[in-house]
Amino acid sequence: KQEVTQIPAALSVPEGENLVLNCSFTDSAIYNLQWFRQDPGKGLTSLLLIQSSQREQTSGRLNASLDKSSGRSTLYIAASQPGDSATYLCAVPNSGGYQKVTFGIGTKLQVIP
């Protein structure tokens, strides 16, 4: 059974800092991994989807990397801003024919002005 862990659970940084969020998964037979952002009381917004054949995916100040062999993905946020404050979740489709997706509990990020 796939398990997804995100560390740290919460992070507080001053504005302008570069930061890294971590996601680890137990079953490395994945074909992609998706990072989401969730604002309080809202749904999940997709940030990046990284395929198993890719090592990195970039969108603006965000960069996601994937290392299947070690079961890890990182989300790098450059030059953080107060508007980046949110919870960040990673999600992995389960291997096999079952259509489920396993989520981490998320990292709650606060960027202090």
- Binding residues for another protein, per CB under 8 A? 31-32, 34, 36, 41-46, 49, 89, 91, 93, 99-101, 103-106
Tell the smallest beta-carbon distance from residue 79 to another protein (Å): 26
Rounded-to-integer distance, Cα 2 and Cα 94, Å? 7
Q: Which is nearer to another protein, 79 or 100 (CB)?
A: 100
Tell the smallest beta-carbon distance from residue 14 to another protein (Å): 26
Q: Which is nearer to another protein, 74 or 93 (CB)?
A: 93
Rounded-to-integer distance, Cα 92 and Cα 29, Å? 10
Rounded-to-integer distance, Cα 62 and Cα 41, Å? 23
**3-state SS assignment for residue 4:** strand
Q: Which is nearer to another protein, 38 or 65 (CB)?
A: 38
Distance of CA 89 to the CA centre of its chain: 5
Tell the smallest beta-carbon distance from residue 104 to another protein (Å): 7
Rounded-to-integer distance, Cα 76 and Cα 58, Å? 9
